[in-house]
Structure 1
Amino acid sequence: MATAGNSEDLPTIPILPVNTPFSSDRNISRSPSISSINNFQWTTLLVSKPGQKKGRKQLGRDPVVIERSNLVNISKLVVKELIEQSLRYGRMLDSDHMPLQHFFIVLEHVLRHGLKPKKGLLGPKKELWDILQMVEKYTPEAQDITASVRDLPTVRTHMGRARAWLRLALMQKKLADYLKVLIDHKDEALVEYFEPDALMLSDEAIIIIGLLVGLNVIDCNLCVKEEDLDCPQGVIDFSLYLRSASQVSNDSSNGDETGDAMTTVLDQKNYIEELNRHLNATVTNLQTKVESLTTTNALMKEDLAIAKNNLMALFEENRLLRRQCGREGEGYVMSASGVHVTSADSGKGRGEKGGDAEELRQRLEEERRLRKEADDELEIQMCMKAEMEVAMKLLEKDIHEKQDTIISLRRQLDDIKLINLEMYKKLQGCEASLAHKAEFISKLEAKMQSMTDTIESLEYKYKESESMRLTTEQLKQQVDLQAAHVEEQANSIEGDLKLEREWRKSLQDSMQQDRERISKLQIENGQLKLLAQKYAQLQEDYYTLKDHNMEQDKTLEELGGKLKDSKLQISDLKEEINRNRIDGTWAKDNTVSNCSACSKEFNLTRRRHHCRNCGEIFCNTCSDNTMALPSSAKPVRVCDDCHLLLLGRSTNTVMN
């Protein structure tokens, strides 16, 4: 982790000829007032074009090294801003969080730096997704997120799958671990995908991993299915991360917020230390249990060996008793469950040695009972041994898991300590800058005080010279007779007086200019504050008017649709009015000789018929329709055109 002074230096960007107002020795942080860095494209800022590398050798540094340095410095700024935003507004971040979006854009450029292009027109293209899929070969835990990304229905391109994989790994807080696995196996996994001077194959990759470890203190809630990960990434606004040294003094108002953030980090550190102590105590207890179980197991093994020896002694004693009794003809079967006696001729033995057989039978029963007890004890000991072995395996597995948890917690504790150290160094830098500003202000005040004293002394000298002039004029009037030598003396005094007047006038002019300059600076300061307030107010008005404009656009679209429908209805009504001549006159029979519709001539077979709606005369074929009219209670004869018109009108009435 870099120090506070180095981490806040503006990274040199010689790839683009951009004239920025920030030098490399100035402290930088967020400032919305910086407009000269806005809307810089990442592709032109961080990665130089291949055609420009040959012309950059004259700068004295390798352009690839400068690219890697730019990527590392920008990553530091973005990660630091992301952690500060998380501590300030809460650790749960979503997809709409702007610093988080910037972090994914920067991480994508870091991982794609130095990626080899495809060989030839038909050769396979090197993709970042192919590299990330190799993580599951070395870490089986990554198989779940890799399978989840492959099954996403909304992601179709390799770049979209790589972005989804990075987001899932960050939510699991395993992103730093997975990338470290790739770096550890870079000789067999990354060499065929990256150029030799790529960032992932250089020493700067360790710095990137250290920055990613610091992100384990935040929590992310990202919905991968709803994001359009196949589209190109946006443009980053650098004004969120850069500011000039003149604006460092404004950070004094944020001291309370920094203190709260430090308190939160210290609380987390204490909690992790307490959890670590509990886990250590648990591990100690488990180790004690393992030792006690090991001792018990050894004792039980010794008891088992003793029981086996006793059993063998009993077998030997039984064999000796059989030989002494002369019962070699009988068959004895020894097994793990007991001793079984089979006799071929037991009746004959009883008759010969009745008393000895009874005694031997009792001893044999006693031996059987002892053998059975020994077998039962042996089975119990074997069951206990199996249970102890299972318990030992479970305890060993639990101990390994606890040790892994302790290692991860210790890593997180180290990361938090590094973050605390960085924030403490940043606080020291801010305090040093504030002390420097205060010292500069005190020097300006002392200089102003000295100038005021000089002006007062000059005014005192002017008064003295004025009194001397009056005295000299009186003496001149009194000694008018001695004009020769007194006139010369008066001329010299007047010359000195003129010099003093000019000096006084110049001093007054400079003092007036200084006062005017101070007043102008104060006025400009007030105007800047008013402009800042107006800008904030105008921004709020802009968002309000924008929402209002969107609502009005939606309203106009709805009114346009309704107006279109109303125009169509008006045109239909006009057409109906033109066709429906309500005030038409009743046509006379002797004036019409042809049908108004088909123009056929009337005769004895083709008779005249009046339309009860329009009053015109038609033949029977053209007026063979009946419709109910308001003027008649029953349906009357109407022509074809009037029938269609009245039918459409009644249909519209029913639908409305």
Structure 2
Amino acid sequence: MAAKDPTAVERANLLNMAKLSIKGLIESALSFGRTLDSDYPPLQQFFVVMEHCLKHSLKVRKSFLSYNKTIWGPLELVEKLYPEAEEIGASVPDLPGLKTPLGRARAWLRLALIDLLSEFYEYHALMMEEEGAVIVGLLVGLNVIDANLFSSLHSRVDSLEKSNTKLIEELAIAKNNIIKLQEENHQLRSENKLILMKTQQHLEVTKVDVETELQTCKHSCQGLDEMYNEARRQLRDESQLRQNVANELAVQVSMKHEIELAMKLLEKDIHEKQDTLIGLRQQLEEVKAINIEMYQKLQASEDGLKEKNEIIARLEEKTNKITAAMRQLEQRLQQSLHGLSVLLFDPIDIFKWVHAHNLPVASAYLRGKANVFPVTCKTLCHLAPHFFSDLISTLLPLVYVCARYINFLNVP
């Protein structure tokens, strides 16, 4: 069994629903013999079915967020393609209470059912197939129904008739008021004439009285002029006096301002001098601190100088001692050298020289060899190490003292 086309099934279902809706609408209208209004349920069902039929396989406008599947888009383009539909398209946005595209589409459909172009539907849409022609034929049968989608017109006509009646009554009342006002105007004009005549008579009498009073005023004016001149002179004197007082006051005020300015400058000068005095005091304290520090350093320097002088005196004393010791050592060295020259010739002189110069090692050696005379070269060779040992032991203290003296001089 071959699978049915889903679009064909949808078309068949929509066609059957349209048939049932139109049939039920016609039967209910004819059976009850009533005029259809916008709140009639079968009529509302009919419009819902027609919306589904017109939406079937409609080419939607694609966007990033969703599919805008509504029939208002094609209806907006109809007025561009067909100028005769421009009036309907312009009147739909002006209708009150329409906020959604679906509502505007419903209003447009209720104003006029027009032919749709194929570019708005897919090839398998209900309105593009044979079922669309069947629905159009079914819609022709709706002509037998007397529809009244604007039930509020009767209430509007009644309200207009009532308002017209009220306006007629108000017009009659206004005409009566106009007649009364005209009568009152005529009466007021007559009264105005009487008042005008009385006023003229009163003016003539008043004119005579005014002329008499004018003569009296002229006589009294002369005295008033004299009084005015006197008052004016006094006013001039008072004004001059006031001007002088004002000038003196201005001078006093200017002097006061100058005195205040001088006081401010004097206060500023005093503050500056006080600041300067404070700064000088601080500098004096700093100088005192510096002097005390320098004095302390001077005392320390003098103490150090005294210590160094004492050290120098001690060094000079040590130097003198070392010099004397060096002289003694030089003498002993010369004597040692002289003794060396004598050793080669006379053994008795050698023995005497060793005892004279306190050379213990050499003396002890000679005591052991005292009976060996004359002195031979072999004896001298044995004696030389002992002699030089005594000589080195004699010179070592001198070298040690010189080294101590050099180290002491190198100390800062």
TM-score by length of structure 2 reads 0.34
TM-score, normalization: structure 1?
0.22
Bigger-Rg structure (1/2): 2
